[in-house]
Amino acid sequence: MTNRQPSWPVAVFAHNEARNIIACLDSLQSAAASPCECHVLANACADETEALVREYSASHPNVHLVSIALGDKANAWNVFVHEVAPRNAMHYFFIDGDVRAAPGSLDAMAQALAHHPQANGVSALPRSGRGLDAFQRDMLKDNGVAGNLYGLRGTFVERICQRAIRMPVGTIGEDALMGAMLKWDLRGDVRWDDSKVVVAQEAGFEFDSVSPWLPREWKKYFRRRVRYSVRGYQNKMLGRAIQPGGFESLPQQIGDLYPLYPDVLELGWRGVDTFFDWLAIREIRTSS
């Protein structure tokens, strides 16, 4: 590839992140040796997120606000990849607006891609949160993708754009779909290849956990648990749709898959998670 961009584009996903967005942007200023072009994808923000980003960008010209009416992370990912991100960058990075990148993380991720030319993408490791040790162990074992902070090789993004591959709007936990894109190499007829993702152990991110013990967090925690269950059912449907149809066969809306795979919505015993699975199935059936 030629005419590479001198800095790396970074997608910052933000939905009502007034409490966290400045800390996230501050962390990105020290995540690489040279300034990166940070595009804050403010999707359906009803708080002060956009105003804070505008004010911040006045003194940080490498920060750009992208206002999106639809509150959906998968849609924001599509907007960034297909409409906002400059072409011909060597690497593209993606971070959630409620996390903080550790100093030097983007440099470490870029270096990991340079040392593993077979990899399509790179992940950073979590450095906070409940179950941290297990989270890190699983990522290192499976070369996992954490949607909180990851990077894609520029040639991989070019292939996505050339083939007009998009994430279905409404996809929850897009990191699983991203992992499938990477490890199936954007195809539906090949074997899963963990070597297509490398985990940069020197790169990391931190976030503030939602506590089920604080009354002010109960609604957020409850909703998050239901979404985790919805994500599990969606992932099963996505996997069946991708193989062998390929990623181009995915619908524009994740809800279009629901009527195609009703057998996926079977309730099994998973301890306390069973209750959230039941709520997730009811939500999916109501929306389809």
Q: Are strands 149-153 and 91-96 parallel, antiparallel or unpaired?
A: antiparallel
Show pLDDT as tens, one digit a residue, over the chain (288 residues): 344 445 899 999 999 999 999 999 999 999 999 889 999 999 999 999 999 999 999 999 999 999 999 999 999 999 999 999 999 999 999 999 999 999 999 999 999 999 999 999 999 999 987 789 999 999 999 999 999 999 999 999 999 999 999 999 999 989 999 999 999 999 988 899 999 999 999 999 999 876 666 676 788 889 989 999 999 999 999 999 998 789 999 999 999 999 999 999 999 999 999 999 999 999 999 987
DSSP sequence for 34-71: S--EEEEEEES--SSHHHHHHHHHHH-TTEEEEEESS-
**Is residue 173 left, alpha or beta, with left meaning phi > 0 and alpha meaning psi from -120 to 50?**
left
- If we measure between CA atoms, which residue out of 185, 171, 281, 170 comes closest to residue 235? 171
Q: Nearest 10 degrees: CA dihedral of 97, 76, 195, 116?
A: -70
Residue 219: predicted pLDDT: 85
Contact assessment for residue 97 and residue 71, using Cβ atoms and an 8 Å cutoff: no
What structural domains and CATH numbers belong to the chain?
A: 9-207 (3.90.550.10), 215-287 (no CATH)
Residue 212: predicted pLDDT: 66
Residue 1: predicted pLDDT: 37
Task: Report the 10 Å Cβ neighbour count for 264.
Answer: 18
- If we measure between CA atoms, which residue out of 276, 74, 279 comes closest to residue 172? 74
Helix axis angle, 273-287 to 218-242, nearest 10°: 60
HSE-CB at 218 with a 13 A cutoff on CA atoms is: 4
CA distance 64 to 162: 25
Contact assessment for residue 56 and residue 79, using Cβ atoms and an 8 Å cutoff: no
Q: What is the pTM of this model?
A: 0.94
C-alpha to C-alpha distances, 156 to 100, 162, 279, nearest whole angstrom: 25, 10, 37
List for the chain the helix, strand, coil content (%; round to 5).
45, 20, 35
Contact assessment for residue 208 and residue 147, using Cβ atoms and an 8 Å cutoff: no
CA distance 183 to 44: 31
CB-count exposure of residue 193 (10 Å: 0-12, 13-18, 19+)? middle
Bridge partners of 11, per DSSP, are 39, 94
If DSSP codes are grouped into helix, strand and coil, which group holds residue 165?
coil
